[in-house]
Homo-oligomer: A and B are copies of this chain.
Amino acid sequence: MYIRKQRLLTPGPTPLYPPALHAMMASDIHHRTEDFRKVYRSCLADLKEVMGTAHDLLMFAASGTGAMDAAVSNLFSKGDKVVVCSAGKFGERWAEIAKAYGLDATVLTAPYGDVVTPQRVEAALAQEPATKGVFVQASETSTGAMHDVEAMGRAISKTGAIFVVDAITGFGTMPLDIDGWGLDVAIGGSQKAFMIPPGLAFMSVSPKAWKLAETATLPHYYFNLKKEKKSGDAGESSWTPATSLILALAEALRYVKQLGMPHLIVNAQMLAQATRAAVQALGLELFAPGSPGSSVTAVKAPAGMDSGVIVKEFRSRFGAIIANGQGTMKGQIFRVAHLGYFDFADLFGVVAELEIILNANGHPVQYGTGVAAVEEVYAHAAVEPQTKKA
């Protein structure tokens, strides 16, 4: 028995920003009052600001998957031809939703760890000009790979299709020019770079997407984009909002704005770069070396070692909750997250702990080797010390 603080270090839920957590204590507020409308309006405005879009921004009391469902059920009709890019568990989710609503989906698959290229999307659109929509993950959380949504967006915007991007772990970990790159729908979730607990989903909707909504005939009720837009304009949500989470979000967005979204992204990128350097210094292999994103870094377990052992020992020895592989990758990889409220101190701990776990399980490494690699990245990043509390 010794002290091991529970540290939530997964790619969602992510570590909580304490002032946001404390703000939830003010939940003795009624949602149909001007006090709450003020908070709700500020969240919508701040989300638009940090997401960098002039498009409409909607918020749902739902997890990210709810907004994915909403995009399909509100913007499409049964039998619509769509293209789904699938390079992991969340790509498969797009395919499942498309199937559930009876869309006619062409699924472009790439092996886990790899990505679907913009060229393949372009070719699919050329082959089927009637395509109504393209679905992708900006960042595929299950593998840590990042899609080139900029190139995809530029290609798709020349067609009649809308581009629907699951940016749930993309926001805050990679630049995303929603309006400039033609991301017609971009979806985010509260428990990712936004540093608060799960339960809220965000969605930007472009004029091109609204246009498609006009002819869409799929049934829906709770997720009603038009109704939600109208409610949001009045500073409210259509249905009862998750007030505690909205209060937390307002506080977290204040912090993200103070930090600056570009700095939040650089923060994740630095930690991802340092993680890649560390695990390679320890003789481990990256799972997605070709297109590594900065939301999470997937690492292959050493040959003959179940990654579940690593994940389990992080918890049992140090109280750290890190992620195993998902789906078919379970046992093969483990994932170190960087998105949201993560800092170098978190990473120093994770890497030192990894060194101990590897050594204790038949993969001898020199203590300190991985941590030294992280320190090198820090030193060369030449990040300026901060002068005020943040």
A interface residues with partner B (beta carbon < 8 Å): 1-7, 15, 25, 259-260, 263-264, 266-267, 270, 313, 316-320, 341-346, 348-349, 352-353, 355-356, 359-360, 366-372, 374-376, 378-379, 383-387, 389-390
Contacts and interface: CB of A to CB of B under 8 A. Distances in A.
Nearest to A345: B349
A371 B352 contact: yes
B359 A368 contact: no
With most chain B CB atoms within 10 A of its CB, the pick from A15, A342, A386 is: A386
B342 A3 contact: yes
Contacts of A367: 368, 371-372, 375-376, 379
Contacts of A379: 356, 359-360, 367
Nearest to A255: B3
A345 B316 contact: no
A375 B368 contact: yes
Contact of A3 (B7, B25, B267, B348): B267
A2 B267 CA distance: 5
A165 to B, nearest CB: 25
Nearest to A7: B345
Nearest to A266: B2
8 contacts: A2-B386, A4-B390, A319-B386, A345-B352, A360-B379, A366-B372, A368-B369, A371-B371
Contact of A4 (B5, B360, B386): B386
Contacts of A385: 313, 316-317
A269 to B, nearest CB: 10
A316 B372 CA distance: 21
A84 B170 CA distance: 63
Pick the most buried of A316, A341, A378: most chain B CB atoms within 10 A of its CB: A378
Number of copies: 2
A374 B343 CA distance: 20
Nearest 7 CB-CB pairings of A with B: A368-B368, A368-B372, A345-B349, A316-B385, A367-B372, A348-B352, A1-B263
A341 B371 contact: no
A288 to B, nearest CB: 23
Given A260-B1, A345-B7, A345-B318, A375 B352 contact: yes
Contacts of A369: 368
Nearest to A6: B389
Given A2-B383, A4-B344, A316-B385, 19 more contacts: A1-B259, A1-B263, A1-B390, A2-B263, A3-B343, A5-B341, A5-B346, A25-B25, A319-B386, A344-B349, A345-B349, A346-B349, A359-B379, A366-B372, A367-B371, A367-B375, A367-B379, A368-B372, A368-B375
A390 B15 CA distance: 18
Given A259-B1, A260-B1, A356 B378 contact: yes
A321 B376 CA distance: 23
A266 to B, nearest CB: 7
B341 A355 contact: no
A370 to B, nearest CB: 8
A345 B355 CA distance: 12
A259 to B, nearest CB: 6
Q: Which of A4, A270, A316, A345 is packed against the most chain B CB atoms within 10 Å?
A: A345
A4 B343 contact: yes
A280 to B, nearest CB: 15
A353 B379 CA distance: 11
A383 B318 CA distance: 11
Contacts of A266: 2
Given A316-B386, A368-B369, A345 B375 contact: no
